[in-house]
């Protein structure tokens, strides 16, 4: 169990926007601002991030009524070295040369600062402020465009040797069939890709209409499946089976008492209910008995990245990560 900590600053660097906020020790957003992101090249990306941070640091000083933050956390997509506070690499945002992001944030705000990837941050946010707060051990699954996970036991996130832990999208769910990975079957991006590949086999599918209208996403797949569309059913059933089996496997490995889902795709109509039902039917009894919660994240989806980054700072202060600067 984790105790709520002091207010911290969370910086969420996304592909199109940067969200920065002051977050209370209970996870409430006390003050926040949104900035445009730029990603034509690394220099512009850095300029966008650190000028936004500079603006927010100045804004905090203009609001002396707000409580002073004790630390800062930053989350973004890519490969991070959380111990060094360095953003090593990213495809989505053009980072080819490592950025000492924690150190630069630390100087801008005069605060200790930490850095991790977006899904690790989201898991920490859920752990500190959400359904993980009362859990001994939480499995957090982000089911969005891609698929990844965070495993939290007590105050510690499983990061692995190089901070790659949680890359569950690569799990092989059918090793007898020459290998079939989880992410292409059960992520939002995988559902779209699967629909596009199979559309020629299903003329007249509701997903063809959705595609023509620019609405082909996981919600459309689960809606059409609910209406009995054969292609959509095939895709939705496979997504549920793969994700359900993966959750059962991870529960056997991790023995969590909380399984929390974040991300956009899992909010497709019926998906979470069906995955939960698969898990209840297939998970090994002793492991399933430990489960106290399985369901959606408690955090506002629009603010999960920022709140998670603030939680990263809270965990940093708690000593579960090496302090900086």
User: Binding residues for a copy of itself, per CB under 8 A?
Assistant: 79, 135-137, 149, 151, 153-154, 156, 158-177, 179-180, 238, 241-242, 244-245, 248-250, 252-257, 282, 284, 286-287, 289-290, 292
The token pair at 268 is 């497709």
Residue placing its CB nearer to a copy of itself in the complex, 106 or 148? 148
Select from 208, 243, 237 the least CA-distant residue to 225.
Answer: 237
Q: Least distance in Å: CB of 154 to a copy of itself?
A: 8
CB of 86 to a copy of itself, least distance (A): 16
- Cα-to-chain-centroid distance, residue 272: 16
The answer to whether the beta carbons of residues 298 and 12 sit under 8 Å apart is: no
Cα–Cα distance for residue pair 40/35, rounded to 1 Å: 16
Q: Which is nearer to a copy of itself, 54 or 160 (by Cβ)?
A: 160
Q: Whole-number minimum distance, CB 163 to a copy of itself, in Å?
A: 7
Nearer to a copy of itself, 11 or 245 (CB): 245
DSSP secondary structure code for residue 69 in this structure: P
Long-range pairs for 223-232: beta carbons < 8 A, 24 or more residues apart = 223/268, 223/269, 225/270, 226/269, 226/270, 229/205, 230/202, 230/205, 231/195, 231/198, 231/199, 231/201, 231/202, 231/205, 231/206, 231/207, 232/195, 232/205, 232/206, 232/207
Q: How far is the CB of 213 from a copy of itself (least distance, A)?
A: 31
**Shortest spacing between CB 120 and a copy of itself, in angstroms:** 12
Place of tokens 């209840």: 280
What tokens does 21 get?
Answer: 């906020």
| 298: three-class secondary structure by DSSP | coil
Nearest approach, Cβ of 151 to a copy of itself (angstroms)? Answer: 7
Of 176 and 213, the one with the shorter C-beta distance to a copy of itself is 176
CB 174, min distance to a copy of itself, A: 5
User: 146 near 183, Cβ under 8 Å?
Assistant: yes
- In the complex, minimum distance from the CB of residue 251 to a copy of itself, in angstroms, rounded to a whole number: 9
Nearer of residues 145 and 209 to a copy of itself, judged by Cβ? 145
Cβ atoms 63, 45 nearer than 8 A: no
Let me know: does 85 contact 102? Beta carbons within 8 Å: yes
Q: Which is nearer to a copy of itself, 145 or 180 (CB)?
A: 180
* CB nearer a copy of itself, residue 105 or residue 260: 260
Nearest residue to 170 via CA among 179, 161, 162: 179
Strand order in the sheet with 29-36: 29-36, 17-23, 8-13, 72-76, 113-117
Please identify, using beta-carbon distances, which residue of 26 and 292 lies nearer to a copy of itself: 292
């Amino acid at each position: 169990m984790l105790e709520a900590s002091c207010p911290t600053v969370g910086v969420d660097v996304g592909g199109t926007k940067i969200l920065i906020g002051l977050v209370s020790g209970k996870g409430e957003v006390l003050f926040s601002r949104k900035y445009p992101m730029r990603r034509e090249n690394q220099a512009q990306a850095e300029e966008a991030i650190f000028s936004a941070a500079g603006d927010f640091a100045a804004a905090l000083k203009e609001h002396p009524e707000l409580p002073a933050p004790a630390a800062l956390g930053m989350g973004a997509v890519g490969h991070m070295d959380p111990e060094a506070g360095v953003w090593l690499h990213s495809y989505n945002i053009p980072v080819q040369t490592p950025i000492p992001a924690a150190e630069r944030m630390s100087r801008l705000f005069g605060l200790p600062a930490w850095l991790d990837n977006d899904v690790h941050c989201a898991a920490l946010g859920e752990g500190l402020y959400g359904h993980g707060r009362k859990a001994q051990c939480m499995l957090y699954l982000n089911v969005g465009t891609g698929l990844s996970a965070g495993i939290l036991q007590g105050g510690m996130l499983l990061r692995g040797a190089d901070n790659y832990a949680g890359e569950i999208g690569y799990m092989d769910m059918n090793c007898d069939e020459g290998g079939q990975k989880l992410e292409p079957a059960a992520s939002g991006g995988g559902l779209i890709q699967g629909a596009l590949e199979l559309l020629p086999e299903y003329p007249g599918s509701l997903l063809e209409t959705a595609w023509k209208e620019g609405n082909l996403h996981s919600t459309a797949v689960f809606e059409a499946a609910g209406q009995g569309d054969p292609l959509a059913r095939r895709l939705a059933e496979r997504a549920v089976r793969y994700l359900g089996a993966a959750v059962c496997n991870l529960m056997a490995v991790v023995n969590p008492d909380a399984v929390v889902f974040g991300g956009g795709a899992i909010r497709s109509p019926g998906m979470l209910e069906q995955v939960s039902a698969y898990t209840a039917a297939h998970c090994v009894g002793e492991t399933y008995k430990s489960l106290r919660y399985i369901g959606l994240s408690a955090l506002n989806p629009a603010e999960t990245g920022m709140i998670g980054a603030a939680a990263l700072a809270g965990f940093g202060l708690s000593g579960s990560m090496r302090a900086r600067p």
